[in-house]
Structure 1
């Protein structure tokens, strides 16, 4: 496995090291085009404000690599959003953690002064966004989540200081991230677009962070696992109808009211709304696939009996009509 070493800062000078390590092409201190020996894809860097920058990664590897981020004196946090349709691995303090859209972890927040590594899956599209934020902008967050002791597996080893935080991506943020898949980094508007996406993602995160509901009791590990189980069920059954909150609550082993509260804590939305948003995202993928002759075919594929119902929900989410996204099958 090829190991690639790099570091992060809020300014673009770190990209030269990454380009040299990957033997990629660095363009205008923004884009690194990875070589075919590694796979297809690129990274994109943009400074948003003096205290916020963004890194976008879109690649499909044909050989295993490990991106080893070195500890840096630059005082910032890395918000790592991963919407790959498979599990990638992040290593922190010699422990591997799975992250990815279909896994239960979708957002990792890591201190830049602690080493970590990222191992994308091979022959799968890796789709991730990293927002780099100056610690001075995150005083309240640091106060709530101070550095904590981390126990190594070896009993005799000393404890280490670590700072990392995992969380779920809310439904609105999932839509924002998915919208990046519709844009090319070569579009003249991409720089403005990705900066807007990054700021909206941070806005969503801190809107939830400052919500007074966050002061209520946190979910236990078993409660989180139970809610994640129902989330996975919803994602695996998007072609069918919504199964009902009563059914999902029973699956989680909770009362209906407790389940709705727990789901809201995890995903910042209701189970039904979560299902509809992701069903519409699937619908958009089907419309653009070129595998259907008409809107009616897509509607039936998604188990809708009325085209008008599907069209109304689609327009509410994407502010465009499904006919505008339909790529008709040619034969």
Structure 2
């Protein structure tokens, strides 16, 4: 989902310091507006069909990155095509200026907001990624970033690649959900509550919860390779997309600066382990990440200067997490290399 404290058209129905249950200066993230689901039985009118839908992402956005990682791990590249937006939005929403003619070649639109308008005429709320668009009609189907990846795991099974891992195994769902809830509240969203806080009190509260949770997660991972069980699950995907952005943007830009991830021995090794796992690091584009955060958030960084650091070469160094055991893909196999059109320049 796009990030803006203003609730503008380029943001995701969010506001800072507003809302019935919001303390003064506290960042408030609203729920997704379009929550239809694409399911095996088509209960919401959107049945799983290969080639029918297009996933729209920004490589900068951690919420969209969840969908990228899950799509890669499950091998859904051919079944669910991919559109990548420019990391820099304008007042008209996420734009397809990376494509010839500044239009998505499949949807034929210049701005993601056009798919929102096709779904709901006159819609004037936030335009967020990830989003799935119905190609035949051009209508937005869903921008429900919380449910979207779970449905890719549980509803798109007939289209998974051979050897696809179980990212949301039924026997572990209660524990996965519990882990994800705390990580979402205090880490995934917590960095934004710190970065977009408009009062010292709101910032201090978010900062304290963020690092308390990171300390708890670090302790939990000290003697186990993954968050739940001995394989990668959805919980690891959701934690990774924040950790991989932490030193590059959240530490300085969002004032989450008690310490860097590189300064936490456990979390740094865990993050590198995942980064070096096929399907994770090969979806990360640090250039898009840094340009988006530092150039879009003018209230936080009015000069829009993009810092040169940090040094990213450490992401490829040995992590030794394999010594803890565990099998990344369980009884499955690693995904093959990404399609040529989706290859990201390696570090």
TM-score normalised to structure 2 length? 0.28
| Larger RCO of the pair (alpha carbons < 8 Å, separation 6+) | 2
TM-score (norm 1): 0.29
Which structure features the higher share of strand residues? Answer: 1
